[in-house]
Structure 1
Amino acid sequence: MTRIDSHQHFWRYTPQDHPWMSDDMGVLKQDLLPERLRPSLQRHVIQGTILVQARSCPNETRWLLDIAEKTDFVRAVTGWVDLSSQALPKKLEAASHPLLRGFRHQVQDEPSPAQWLADTAINNGLRQLQQQEYVYEILVTHRHLAEAVQFAGRHDNYFLVLDHCGKPDLSRGAAHWKKQIAPLAALKHVSCKISGLLTEPRPPGMSPRDLLPYFDAALDIFGSERLMFGSDWPVCLLAGEDENPWAFIEQATAALSDDEQAAIYGGNAHTVYRLQETSNESASAK
């Protein structure tokens, strides 16, 4: 079974480039690059990753692709592009690269995520992405899942992926989140990344074990064929050394069949991101 981490980041830290990092995120305010991640991948037998943008900047996309070319375990890149640009076709042509398989925008950080998701230019841009078979990753919180459903419903010509389970409100419980997310799960072109749960704000006393019902709910409505494991490294470092996403997913999937585990750990990422077209060596080969 090929194990893929479908969601990780790299960056060279500067305050102006990473304004989303608050004062209590000191562990993230440093350069975090491939050789810092490699030991964790080897320890948990992860053979490849999807490298995802962390800045809304076209220069970062090129930088991530440069890293991917030199890093044996990076199998694909999710970059950034201005979907509203009238020059989008030219921008896509300029960004084209064998390892570029998708795009993302931090919709959650927009002044009005709902307005962004409904914007005509944005929606026209996404249609162009899907025509070229680029995956689009949706990054919203639980506050805008309803608008995300409408957005996803307009764009069913290629794969969409919901990041971080839609960032559920953990204070309201898994049953509430399941009701929120069910309309998205009903759209068969939408997959969900099991990522980011460990760093969402938790009610006092909530442990990683208490997050397992969220995985169970996702499995029930998306099925193992539309779930993907993602560490969200290095953001996952905010949870502390004793709470890591690799241990969480191993616990969550322990009772599943070999086929179900294989799908969540890599099979689905292979399909969505066309990893069979990537020739990078595995991280564990070195």
Structure 2
Amino acid sequence: MNTRRRFLQAGLATAATAFLGRRGRESLADSPPVAPSSDETIPIVDTHRHLWDLTQVRLAWLEGTPALNRSFLPSDYREAAQGLSIKQAVYMEVAVVEEDLVREAEYVIDLCRQGDGPTTAAVIGGRPAAPDFAQYVDRFRGNPYVKGIRHIPPNTPAGREMFFSPAFSRGLKVLGERGWSFDICVPPDWLEESAEIVARCPDTRFIVDHCGNADPNRFREARKGAADAAAYCDKWRSGMRALAAHSRVVCKISGIVSRMTPGDWKADDLAPVVDECIDIFGEDRVMFAGDWPVCTKGGTLREWVRALQAITAERPIAFRRKLFAENAVRFYGLT
């Protein structure tokens, strides 16, 4: 039994190990309240917080996700984050229909400008392969709140062709010229080839979203001896290493909770993915991200924070400060 497992299974021996919750088959949601710990006092920057007001923008993908098919507003996030030490949040685009891209950007810029919540920066939607992409970016050039662009390509042959096209890379080079970043959010079997895009855009910084979209369930199956799951994990691992070979790429520790069954997972189920991401990218290139409200498909924001605190509990506090806030402040130029 490794050291972390002994620590997690030992329970809440002292205040310094608070938020670990009960181990075994019990869910984090069933954990009793505990005393404050040092982790509670570590400031958190949530680098991946979604919001959408369906009276303002249209999200076609919500039609296939009934649990999320409603507005999620700043007040909802404040309620979800109550009691957590989240000091700042970076808005992440929500795949609005193309006609609403500008409206979405203006909405979140205004939210940042109001200064009445944790939202202090934004990654907006955009279409890097579009002929007028440079003009679209320049519409917001110089705005202190906009930090980058994300566009999730459809997981189809046409989507793949678009993502790896010369036109898409030209758009990503524009971001580098403007000092903006790009979030890579692709299937695990696209990761290794995505490193070639990074190489073609030497002035652009990149973020790998959601631990490279790893599925913790597949890692659990691999540990039980499933050959196809082991091959999946090896493919993911190769892609993540290829991306991490470029110092301009960082990794968001997020997304994996949404793949779990609510109430039927524990921190140990997520730990292999988290630990490998940290080991591959290093302590200076990983950032906490909540992925709220998408994370609620598997657990609450609080449960995700508590799980990550448990997984990293034995690592030095200096590292945990980097993971939960300091790396994000540096990468996004937050104050």
With the shorter chain as reference, the TM-score category is: 0.7 to 0.9
Separation (CA, whole Å) in 2 of partners of 1:172 and 1:237: 20
Separation (CA, whole Å) in 2 of partners of 1:179 and 1:120: 23
Equivalent position to 1:55, from 95, 103, 115: 95
Equivalent residue letter for 2:123: T
- Give the CA RMSD over aligned residues: 2.3
Equivalent position to 2:120, from 71, 75, 80: 75
Contact 1:165–1:193 (CA<8 Å) still a contact in 2?
A: yes
Equivalent position to 2:257, from 187, 198, 201: 198
Gaps of 5+ in 1: 277-286
Equivalent position to 1:225, from 257, 268, 284: 284
Gaps of 5+ in 2: 1-41, 221-232
Q: Which residue of 2 aligns with 1:270?
A: 329
Q: Which residue of 2 aligns with 1:256?
A: 315
Q: Which residue of 1 aligns with 2:131?
A: 86
Q: Which residue of 2 aligns with 1:247?
A: 306
Bigger mean CA deviation after superposition, 174-183 or 65-74? 174-183
Q: Which residue of 1 aligns with 2:212?
A: 166
Within the alignment, does 1:30 sit opposite 2:30 as a pair? no
Equivalent residue letter for 1:46: I
Bigger mean CA deviation after superposition, 248-257 or 62-71? 62-71
Within the alignment, does 1:126 sit opposite 2:172 as a pair? yes
Question: Scaled by the length of structure 2, what TM-score is found?
Answer: 0.75
- 1:10 Cα deviation from its structure 2 partner: 0.3
- 1:48 Cα deviation from its structure 2 partner: 0.5
Q: Which residue of 2 aligns with 1:188?
A: 247
Separation (CA, whole Å) in 1 of partners of 2:158 and 2:192: 14
Bigger mean CA deviation after superposition, 45-54 or 144-153? 144-153
Equivalent position to 1:20, from 61, 66, 69: 61
> Percent same amino acid among aligned pairs?
25
Equivalent residue letter for 1:64: V
Bigger mean CA deviation after superposition, 61-70 or 132-141? 61-70
Bigger mean CA deviation after superposition, 169-178 or 128-137? 169-178
Alignment CA distance shift 1:45-1:169 (3 Å): closer
Q: Which residue of 2 aligns with 1:11?
A: 52
Contact 1:8–1:52 (CA<8 Å) still a contact in 2?
A: yes
Alignment CA distance shift 1:143-1:201 (3 Å): farther
With CA pairs under 8 Å and 6+ residues apart, which has the higher RCO, 1 or 2? 1
Separation (CA, whole Å) in 1 of partners of 2:246 and 2:174: 20
Equivalent residue letter for 1:134: W
